[in-house]
Structure 1
């Protein structure tokens, strides 16, 4: 697999398995399967019903698509639908638009139009998000605000977070603002700031940046009208400090708006933080390891998600190739581990909960599979369906959900 140096090193887990280890793990795991159908280009695919999954590929310069029928849990590979660098992908919630963050110099974000019938993609625009090229690109995350009126960008290589305006039709306007993180950590991969995730809080007054390199969650002021990020005078941005060498990677708000979950990559722990929306301050409530008791070897946590009802929190652990499920207290957000299950492959780089809440897809990067799990809506527990599709080095998943007759998403 191509792992050329223009991709951010902060996404390479410690102790990445060798090819021999990957193949041995695949052979021992019944859940990792061949493609359900031979890969075909989406342009040649007939019109089908169902949602579309778009899958970025780490270092492969491709975006793949899968047709998913949520009523029956069936997956059909549509194969490669775009040949672009795809560090991260995000889909517009109501428009047929996919955003793809690349690894090239300049911090490129491409805008692609979705053909809902075939799954094919057509580029309709792009934005360069770096003011000064870093020489090595490396966008680690892009995501839309809740109102889908701005795209938030974490530039791992440049150490900055960027807001880009989004037009009513889903096209990108210009870069609205850019903020520069500062700091470093003790790990060799923490020589400088490396933003890994950006989210806007429910009040839409603050933007939180999980910075892998600085061991900080920076809290910037956010203007909901102009989408401008600012450091907040006179002392710069607020910040929550993690333990040195933690490597903050992912953030997620509980629906109650008062709790935030922080996943640290290097220490593979999840923190429950209290969010003071009036002052923009984070306070530690709880720390739990996502490693199993007695864990030895590589330590690397990767992805984090909260169920729509806030009852459950999901984490992927790349060091152990597992998914970990927690129940969440409705009032405090405090977590209790309820399940630990193999991820169905090797190196669960990312996963995504289907908007309907009944399915979870895992991008197992090293084994080259996207695996499907059933979600019990009451208990939150996961069941490996044994279904999956082959995708080269999958790193992230975005959904384009079909609409009903009224134009609302079907789930």
Structure 2
């Protein structure tokens, strides 16, 4: 099993090997010469890893970059096979459609969402379409659009883009043949004013979509109708304990492989909020588990749902946890040192 770690600010992407519980992790490789590879994702079928870099070069911050790596299955080592401009600046998020045909990129300082077709080898080609966002929210932080993340549904019919600046989840229909985007019949779903929609976790088995709101420490659950292409609000719930009054900026939201549990990272409270998916899709708090480090920006899970990796950006380490069938996570007292880690991908 391998763990790929990106960060910001840093010029490195680290590859770690995990031989088994209780055994020391081994640093396999560090890929240098990158510009804050702050978010990573892998191809659902091919041995390919993608990194969103915050800028193109030291001299050119006007564009972000998307870099494609091949993964050597036995060693886990990475080789760069493609690097291209992201069609916007300060690139924050990269994702692959479930069918593996398209790469989705969110550029907060575009402010754009770009869709790139992938060839048979998993390498992006020229962008099919670049959509520019407009609007703002009520807070100073929301003076302009800020497309923070993008996702495609399980049927590859729609693209969702969380816009922190406008408090919206934008909904686009996807042309199955070309990948061209068009505003959906419901063009957006609204979160609370000033909430700041940041990231989403699609829960296809339950027919739900969970959105973490960075600016008011909440998570919103929507019922998703794939036939109509609509998102209907079910619930909004706090990600921090009642009575907590400190500064907090939740960052990542994750659904386990069964669709029965949801996890949110709290930067400030420095915890993982663990929820069960209850009746009618409503989240029920199980516990707040300490992240064992400062500023947990990201949470990742192994395909079987038993291993959890929390990227504690302020602590300089990715902390590993075991996850039980009851949904709780337990620290395994193992950490992977990394410079300002912001994202991890587990590959097995």
> 2: distance between equivalents of 1:73 and 1:92?
28
> 2: distance between equivalents of 1:68 and 1:255?
30
Matches within 5 A, 1:7-46: none
Matched, 1:342 2:290: yes
Partner of 2:77: 120
In angstroms, what is the RMSD of aligned CA positions?
1.8
CA deviation digits over 1:56-105, x for unaligned, max 9? 11011110111123566752223523331212111223333221111113
Q: Say which of 203, 208, 211 aligns to 1:254.
A: 203
Partner of 2:59: none
CA deviation digits over 1:170-226, x for unaligned, max 9? 111111111122111122221111111111122322111110111111111112332
Partner of 2:346: 399
Q: Say which of 20, 25, 30 aligns to 1:75.
A: 25
> 2: distance between equivalents of 1:117 and 1:321?
35
Q: Say which of 282, 296, 309 aligns to 1:361.
A: 309
**Runs of 4+ residues deviating >6 angstroms:** none
SS of the counterpart of 2:201? strand
CA contact under 8 A between 1:127 and 1:174: conserved in structure 2?
A: no
SS of the counterpart of 1:189? helix
Partner of 2:183: 231
Q: Offset of 1:257 from its aligned partner?
A: 5.1
Q: Offset of 1:117 from its aligned partner?
A: 4.1
Partner of 2:118: 166
Matched, 1:205 2:205: no
Partner of 2:134: 182
Partner of 1:94: 45
Deviates more, 1:241-250 or 1:76-85: 76-85
> 2: distance between equivalents of 1:394 and 1:69?
21
CA deviation digits over 1:328-376, x for unaligned, max 9? 13x6221110111100100001010111210100000011011000000
Q: Say which of 81, 91, 100 aligns to 1:148.
A: 100
Deviates more, 1:84-93 or 1:241-250: 84-93
Partner of 1:381: 328
TM-score by length of 2: 0.93
CA contact under 8 A between 1:316 and 1:351: conserved in structure 2?
A: yes
Q: Offset of 1:122 from its aligned partner?
A: 2.2
Q: Work out which structure has the larger RCO, using CA pairs closer than 8 Å and 6 or more positions apart in sequence.
A: 1
SS of the counterpart of 1:392? coil
Ranges in structure 1 where 5+ consecutive residues have no aligned partner? 1-50, 402-411
> 1: distance between equivalents of 2:70 and 2:197?
33
> 2: distance between equivalents of 1:313 and 1:74?
29
Structure whose CA Rg is larger: 1
CA contact under 8 A between 1:223 and 1:229: conserved in structure 2?
A: yes
Q: What is the number of equivalent residue pairs in this alignment?
A: 341
CA deviation digits over 1:29-51, x for unaligned, max 9? xxxxxxxxxxxxxxxxxxxxxx2
TM-score by length of 1: 0.79
SS of the counterpart of 1:139? coil
> 1: distance between equivalents of 2:270 and 2:170?
29
CA contact under 8 A between 1:303 and 1:350: conserved in structure 2?
A: yes
Partner of 1:35: none
> 2: distance between equivalents of 1:391 and 1:71?
20
CA contact under 8 A between 1:204 and 1:223: conserved in structure 2?
A: no
> 1: distance between equivalents of 2:250 and 2:166?
17
Q: CA 1:222–1:74 in structure 2 vs 1: closer, same or farther (change >3 Å)?
A: farther
Matched, 1:157 2:118: no
CA contact under 8 A between 1:273 and 1:285: conserved in structure 2?
A: yes
CA contact under 8 A between 2:220 and 2:234: conserved in structure 1?
A: yes
- Report which of the two has the higher share of strand: 2
Ranges in structure 2 where 5+ consecutive residues have no aligned partner? 56-61
Q: Offset of 1:277 from its aligned partner?
A: 2.0
Q: Offset of 1:154 from its aligned partner?
A: 0.8
Q: CA 1:74–1:358 in structure 2 vs 1: closer, same or farther (change >3 Å)?
A: farther
Q: CA 1:363–1:320 in structure 2 vs 1: closer, same or farther (change >3 Å)?
A: same
